[in-house]
């Protein structure tokens, strides 16, 4: 089963647009979406906010929130999705912030820890997740979970 293809098809059938706000996956969600024929009918683009400074400057996330909760947190994933949806002008935005490894900085999230958010006009869902594997395995698995979260959000409309 291809979750991304399913997400794009379902959104297309509902006339909805999609955008991504990525940190840990660094554009892999957008690249995966764009690899599917017909994606341009649904997927409008994304922002790669790998650094905290870009989360602040491009999305307007309060630096105090990042300092208090950590860049890898449910609160930051929520803000990324909500602010990204508005910034991109899409119906649905999916965000991710996490640590794909291979190292962990003192006081930071462990390898594989991630938070994903999905924002629609009606609601915002946030999902914590623990991935396992090597760096690029974690990133690829995260894209699938993000697409699955998008499907869940659509089912809850």
Residue-level pLDDT at 157: 63
* pTM attached to this predicted model: 0.96
| Residue ranges with strand state E in the chain | 18-22, 43-48, 92-98, 113-119, 124-130
Rounded Cα distance between 143 and 47, Å, is 15
Average pLDDT score over residue span 89-108: 92
Check which CATH number belongs to the domain holding 13 and give it. 3.90.950.20
> Considering its fold, how many domains does the chain have in total?
1
Rounded Cα distance between 78 and 97, Å, is 10
Judge whether residue 136 has pLDDT over 90. Answer: yes
For 61, the domain range is 3-155
Residue-level pLDDT at 107: 76
Rounded to 5, what percent of the chain is helix, strand, coil? Answer: 45, 20, 35
Rounded Cα distance between 135 and 99, Å, is 9
- Residues 115/128, Cβ–Cβ less than 8 Å: yes
For 17-59, the pLDDT digits (tens) are 999 999 999 999 999 999 999 999 999 999 999 999 999 999 9
With vertex at residue 153, the alpha carbon angle to CA 148 and CA 98, rounded to the nearest 5 degrees, is 55
Rounded Cα distance between 145 and 150, Å, is 9
For 58-81, the pLDDT digits (tens) are 999 999 999 999 999 999 999 999
For 117-131, the pLDDT digits (tens) are 999 999 999 999 999
Residue-level pLDDT at 1: 60
């Amino acid at each position: 089963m291809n979750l991304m293809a399913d997400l794009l098809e379902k959104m297309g059938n509902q006339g909805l647009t999609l955008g991504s706000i990525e940190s840990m996956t660094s554009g892999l969600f957008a690249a995966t979406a764009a690899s599917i024929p017909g994606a341009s009918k649904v997927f409008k683009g994304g922002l790669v906010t790998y650094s905290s400074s870009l989360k602040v400057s491009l999305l307007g996330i309060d630096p105090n929130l990042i300092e208090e909760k950590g860049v890898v947190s449910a609160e930051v994933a929520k803000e990324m999705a909500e602010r990204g949806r508005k910034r991109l002008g899409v119906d649905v935005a999916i965000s991710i912030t996490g640590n794909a490894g291979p190292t962990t900085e003192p006081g930071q999230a462990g390898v594989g820890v991630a938070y994903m958010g999905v924002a629609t006009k009606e609601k915002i869902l946030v999902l914590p997740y623990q991935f396992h594997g090597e760096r690029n395995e974690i990133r690829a698995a995260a894209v699938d979970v993000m697409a699955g979260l998008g499907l869940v959000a659509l089912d809850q409309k």
